[in-house]
Structure 1
Amino acid sequence: MSNALGVTTVVIVGLMVGVEFAVAFVLNRIFAGLPEDAGQLGRAHGGRMLGALMPVWYIGSLVLSAIWAAVAWGDPGTNLIVIAAALLIVSVVMSVVLLVPINNRAKRWTPENRPADWKEQSDRWDRYHYLRVAVIIAAFALLTAALAAG
């Protein structure tokens, strides 16, 4: 049971890391290269689409990690799972406190109603997102190591 749970958790977290990495280093660069209105509209659409999906993915990853830690308690690598779960908690807190407030504004922006500082707000979101990506990559690496240790 623990191995199946571990594999499932690593796959779910790995897919989340891949999506968030692609947002940070691929999609946002594509949007930045488009004409101003198109890039801003692309970011707004992405914010609406991923803003609906990612909370479930982040919380689900955390729950799976916590269950895996409980099931594997005392096994080799359990401490890695616990640290990874703590990092996932950090990522959720970062999301709620730093990223979601900006995203909730940005996903409603259009060329007609966006604020004058929309680029600065988008850049701030990007900087927070880079940090969050680093946190979830670390969690993914720890979960992978725990799976290998088990």
Structure 2
Amino acid sequence: MLNALQVFTTVVVGLMVGVEFSVAFVMNRILNALPEDSAQQGHAHGGRMLGALMPVWYIGSLVLAAIWAIAGWHQPGTGLVVTAAALLILSVIMSVLLLVPINNRNKTWTPENRPADWKQQLNRWERYHYARVAVIIAAFTLLVTALV
């Protein structure tokens, strides 16, 4: 049972890392290459769509890692899992404090009501997102290492 939990947790976190990596290094570049109104509207739509899904994924990943750490407390690699869970906590805190406020504003913007500094706000979101991606990649790497 513990093996199934370990594999499931690793897959869930790995898929989350893949989605967030894709947002950072593929989707944002595609959206930023669109004409101005289309770029902003694409970011707003992505914010609405992923903004509804990702909180569940982040919290779910954290819960799974915590269950793994508790269930495997006396197993080799538990320290790695605890560290990964701590990094997932950090990613949730970063999301709530840094990324979500910008995303909540962005997802309501239209070409008619967006603020003058909308590009600067989206650039700030992207920088925070890069840092969050690095954190979840580190967490994923620790989980994979603990698994093997």
TM class by smaller structure: over 0.9
Alpha-carbon distance in 1 for matches of 2:134, 2:89:
14
- Post-superposition Cα deviations, 1:12-59, rounded to whole Å, max 9, x if no partner, equal 000000000000000000001000000110000000000000000000
Instruction: Output the amino acid matched with 2:57.
Output: W
Partner amino acid for 1:71?
A
Amino acid at match of 1:38: S
Aligned positions, number: 148
RMSD: 0.4
The runs of 5 or more residues in structure 1 that have no matched partner are none
**TM-score, structure 1 as length reference:** 0.98
User: Identity over aligned residues, as a percent?
Assistant: 75
2: CA distance between counterparts of 1:36 and 1:22? 21
**Residues 45-91 of structure 1 deviation map (CA, whole Å, 9 limit, x = unaligned):** 00000000000000000000000000100101000000000000000
| Correspondences of 1:1-150 after superposition (within 5 Å) | 1-148=1-148
Q: Return the alpha-carbon distance in structure 1 between the equivalents of residues 57 and 98 of structure 2.
A: 18
Structure 2, unaligned runs of 5 or more: none
TM-score by length of 2: 0.99
